[in-house]
Amino acid sequence: MTFTDDLAAQTQTLRTRIHEMPFNTDMATGQLRRDVFQGYIVQDALYLEGFARALSLAAARAPDPATVAQLANAAAGAIAVERELHTHYMDRFGVSETMLAAMAPSAACDHYVSFLLRTSALGPFDEAVAALLPCFWIYRDVGHDIAARSAPDNPYAAWIDTYSGEAFDESVARMLDLTDRLGAEADGLARLRMSAAFERACWHEWRFWDSAYRMESWMRPEDSLARDSRAPAPTA
């Protein structure tokens, strides 16, 4: 088994739940609410900028020119996807560049981006690569799964085509190969760090979609007070 085979087995339950979560099942049927997808696509645009920065940080620390080029090209590709795919939907939703620039990341988006930037800047290089892998791998798998069961004339066809397409498949394959190579070279402690970073990033993928579906942003103190007021009284 390869190192990424081990990572897949380690996170199988979580990744299955991502495939089954309402956001993705509703997208497959074409019944995902427009306002939910609009909120998601805005947050995804904000996320992809941070993801590209994390890839660039990792690229600067890569051990050889080929890996520098791979990660730098992936960063450029993330920006290209953001501009093409998101412009398509932003135009449909009437969201201008000025409006997008004024929008703040959700708590889930901010948390995920902060984790990737911190890991890419401060963690070992192999750990950074493992943390960056789920955004490639999970999106490819979800994209192919949704494409296989997508309703005809799906309003989200552009998103589905992007993440189930051949170009994205090739970038994911390169990232899997890099992770396997680093995993094979790593000692036991390094592999544990890589596995933990990968699993945490998978959790962030789940949390990002779950937050988007629930249209959550930042919890305020008054939200907590309202929740506490509904809590059952303690029993004696």
- Reported as a single tens digit per residue, the pLDDT across 134-161 is 999 999 999 999 999 998 899 999 899 9
pTM assigned to the model? 0.90
Which token pair is 48? 């992809």
Burial class (CB in 10 A: 0-12, 13-18, 19+), 13: exposed
Burial class (CB in 10 A: 0-12, 13-18, 19+), 21: middle
Domain boundary assignment for the chain: 3-8+18-218
- Reported as a single tens digit per residue, the pLDDT across 196-233 is 999 999 999 999 999 999 999 887 776 655 555 555 55
- Reported as a single tens digit per residue, the pLDDT across 78-122 is 878 767 766 777 777 777 777 767 778 999 999 999 999 999 999
pLDDT for res 230: 55
- Using alpha carbons, select from 132, 161, 141, 160 the residue that is nearest to residue 72: 132
Q: 3-class secondary structure for 83-147?
A: HHHHHHHHHHHCCCHHHHHHCCCCHHHHHHHHHHHHHHHHCCHHHHHHHHHHHHHHHHHHHHHHH
Assigned CATH class of 3-8+18-218: mainly alpha
